[in-house]
Each structure stands twice: as C-alpha cells, then as structure tokens.
Amino acid sequence: MNISLVGRQVEFTEPIKEYMNNSVDTLGKYGLDIISVVLLASKQDTKSKHGVTIEMTINIAGKNTVVIKQRDDDLYAAMDIAIDRAQKALRRLHDKEVDHHRVGINEAKAENIGIADVKSASEGLEDEIIPVQLELYKPREIADVLESIKESGKQFEIFLDNEDKTRVLYKRNDGRFGLY
C-alpha cells in the first residue's frame, strides 16, 4: 500500500507523519487490496472557517475509490475521525464481499462428495416402503356415504361404489342430495 502525505499550509513534523502512517496502516486489517492512500491536510484561516481539513482518498483494486473529508480545529482530532470513517467504509466493503460470496455448483458438489450418495440412500429406503390402501379406494355403499355426510356436515364426498366407479355425493342448495 502506497501512502502519500500532502500538506497545504500545514507542515508535517516527524510525530505527525508517524501518527498518520500508523493510522493508515490500520486500514489493512480488512483484507482488501488497497493500492494507495492519499492524505491531504489543508489549513483554513478565513473569517468564518478556522481549523484543519483532512481529505483521505483510498484506491482499492476492483472497487470504487473511497473519499473521506473531515474538518476539525485540531489536526489529530480530524485525523482520528477520518480514520474511523474510513474503517467503517472498508468494513462495509469487506462484509459485503464476505457475506455475498457465492459458491459455484462445482465447488458445492466437491464439498458434498461422500456426504450423500443418492443411489445408495434410495436403495436403503425401498425396504421401508409399506403400501397402504386408503379409505378412498375401498368400495362403499351410497347409504353409508350419505350417513357420513349427514354426521360430518360436509358438502360433498368422493368415493368408489361397489362397481369401482368414482362417484360424488353432494349436498344441494335446496337441502337434498345429488349423486354424480
């Protein structure tokens, strides 16, 4: 990572340079490929504005450039706040990169080899299947179905009659029953 310190109307002493370099070095902990960091410190002495402005430009490979501007009365305070904001921005980029990582189908297959063999699992389940004949498929008398509709309050019942025909016994709007 290249670090450039530029001062406009600000003279950097050795402790200030060391403090800025150490602060910028903390940005490397997010694992992003930071190409360069440019720190521009400018002093403002006008009637309405007094203090120091820090402008930090962070160039990251394959991503947008992060630009942070911070103004304060003290150079160290402005630098601390700018570094905190830069860390927050880089943490967001890092979390976005880590959380949204998509695994390709080949990698997913490679991870699951030996965990689930579908063919052997299906062969093992064949022994456990027990056929059950449902009540729907058992032949029923129309009178029995009529009694079950009256007792349960259902509107209709689908069943097989004694001739293996699918029939529907339903309640009509006039209160009588129909057979289809």
pLDDT > 70? residue 103? no
Structural domain boundaries enclosing 171? 135-179
What would the pLDDT profile of 25-80 be if each residue is shown by its tens digit? 988 888 888 899 999 999 988 777 788 999 999 999 888 889 999 999 988 999 99
Whole-model pTM: value is 0.53
**Tell me: the pLDDT tens digits for 142-160?**
888 888 888 888 888 888 8
Average pLDDT over residues 120-148: 69
Q: What is the number of structural domains in the chain?
A: 2
Task: Please tell me whether residues 157 and 72 are part of one structural domain.
Answer: no
Which among 98, 126, 160 is the end of a domain? 98
Q: Are 50 and 44 in contact (CB under 8 A)?
A: yes
At 140, which CATH number?
3.30.505.50
Position 85 scores a pLDDT of: 94
Judged against a pLDDT cut of 60, whether residue 121 lies above it is answered with no
Sequence-ordered alpha helix ranges (H) in the chain: 14-25, 75-99, 105-111, 118-126, 142-152
Give the domain-ending residue among 76, 98, 120. 98
Residue 127 within any structural domain of the chain: no
Are residues 144 and 85 located together in one domain of the fold?
Answer: no
